[in-house]
Amino acid sequence: MSKILVLPGDGIGTEIIDEAIKLISAVESLFGFHCEIEQGLIGGIAVDQAGSPLPEQTVALAKQADAVLLGAVGGPKWDQLDRHLRPERGLLGIRAELGLFANLRPAILFPQLAAASTLKEEVVSGLDILIIRELTGGIYFGEPRGEKVVDGKRVGFNTMIYQEDEIARIVQAGFDAARKRGGRLCSVDKANVLDVSGLWRDVATAVGEKNPDVELSHMYVDNAAMQLVRAPKQFDVMVTGNLFGDILSDCAAMLTGSIGMLPSASLNESGAGMYEPVHGSAPDIAGTGQANPLATFLSTAMMYRHSLERADIADAIEAAVSAVLDQGLRTGDIFSDGCKKVGTLEMSGAVINALQQTD
Ligand code: IPM
Ligand code: MG
């Protein structure tokens, strides 16, 4: 039996994870695939209830689980806390504790949503790209970091640092993913300026020599940001460091119409993983019942595919999401004229219903 740890977190996190739990139990009765679900604390709610954004018990439960399903963390209530108590620290902490170095962020445009993108339909229709972001290194974790006073002035600093083996393993993850898709990998760096990127490019090139069946290209990050909004379909898989991946994946998210549609998987070397929607805790709509549960459902699909070895279940969930979009149901974030506006519960119920029909 597979063990899943759910971490609802803050804001709309609790609302969408409630729906994911319903989805998992529907999968259980439809496919006879049993999962044991535990709940844990992370983020602001963990600060409130346990005094830390990442309580030790959460780490222990996560290490025993086959997969972690996370909602979202953060909100204005905790913005004034010291940096080490901020909800975001919980997220960075669990990534580090579980060694989740490979963050997969697919940006797929469901054809039914082409009109919801801010970009012209012809630029985004058929879009299917995958951003692979290094998640446990780089400037997010580099030392030294901090703030000090130099010559009477406050100075803040971080360190962008990568070891060659860290670069090699994420770039290899990029090659492995590209091989299963369109066979093209674009490595993104800032090698014209940064030493750390010079090393990145050397290592990527060397790893490329061992993967001759995949076409490797390199691009500077500023150009990559521009190309993503100019002609995003030129990409198949992109691989990049932690900070660049953070920025580029938000950019890619908007191509698909709404960040409310995008799932993600964060994997470690043993294949265990954490799955979360790319959107955040959306404090502005928390508690109103308007949150889009689809990114969480698609993240749940990724969980079945990558950590629970049930690609068939993942396919069925994705097909059910698509079927509901065909029915014209839309939450506010993906709404367009002629569609039916629904809330979290109705959207979730419709997907579960569609899943029951497909089986
Ligand atoms: C993300 C988020 C996080 C990050 C924040 C919430 C710490 O923006 O997952 O992209 O910067 O990694
Ligand atoms: Mg981000």
- pLDDT score at 257: 78
CA of 135 to the centre of ligand 1 (A): 10
pLDDT (average), residues 299-309: 96
Interval 122-170: pLDDT, tens: 999 999 999 999 999 999 999 999 999 999 999 999 999 999 999 999 9
- Confidence label for 115 from pLDDT (cuts 50, 70 and 90): confident
Q: Are strands 128-134 and 102-108 parallel, antiparallel or unpaired?
A: antiparallel
From the CA of 105, the nearest ligand is 1
pTM: 0.94
- Quote the tokens at residue 13: 């996190």
Which residue lies with its CA nearest to atom 1 of ligand 1?
246
* C-beta separation of 132 from 100 below 8 A: no
Q: From residue 312, give the alpha-carbon distance in Å to each of 59, 96, 129, 358.
A: 30, 30, 21, 12
131 in contact with ligand 1, CB cutoff 6 A: no
- Is 250 tagged catalytic? yes
Task: Please tell me which residue in 10, 66, 140, 304 is annotated as part of the active site.
Answer: 140
The residue ranges of every structural domain in the chain are 1-101+268-359, 109-261
- Confidence label for 1 from pLDDT (cuts 50, 70 and 90): confident
* C-beta separation of 288 from 326 below 8 A: no
Distance (Å, rounded) from C-alpha 211 to C-alpha 215? 8
Interval 205-226: pLDDT, tens: 999 999 999 999 999 999 999 9
Distance (Å, rounded) from C-alpha 74 to C-alpha 50? 15
Collapse the DSSP code of 313 into the 3-class scheme (helix H, G, I; strand E, B; otherwise coil) and give the result. Answer: helix
246 in contact with ligand 1, CB cutoff 6 A: yes
CA of 75 to the centre of ligand 2 (A): 15
Collapse the DSSP code of 189 into the 3-class scheme (helix H, G, I; strand E, B; otherwise coil) and give the result. Answer: strand
Distance (Å, rounded) from C-alpha 105 to C-alpha 19? 21
Indicate which atom in ligand 1 lies nearest the CA of residue 250: 10
**pLDDT at position 117 over 90:** no
CA of 258 to the centre of ligand 2 (A): 14
**For the chain, first and last CA: distance in Å?**
22
What architecture is the 109-261 domain classified under in CATH? 3-Layer(aba) Sandwich (3.40)
* C-beta separation of 169 from 100 below 8 A: no
Distance (Å, rounded) from C-alpha 337 to C-alpha 280? 26
- pLDDT score at 258: 81
Do 1-101+268-359 and 109-261 fold alike per CATH? Answer: yes
Fold category of 1-101+268-359 in CATH? Isopropylmalate Dehydrogenase (3.40.718)
- pLDDT score at 260: 86
- Quote the tokens at residue 212: 């001759």
**pLDDT at position 359 over 60:** no
Mean pLDDT, rounded, of the chain: 96
pLDDT (average), residues 98-119: 92
- pLDDT score at 310: 96
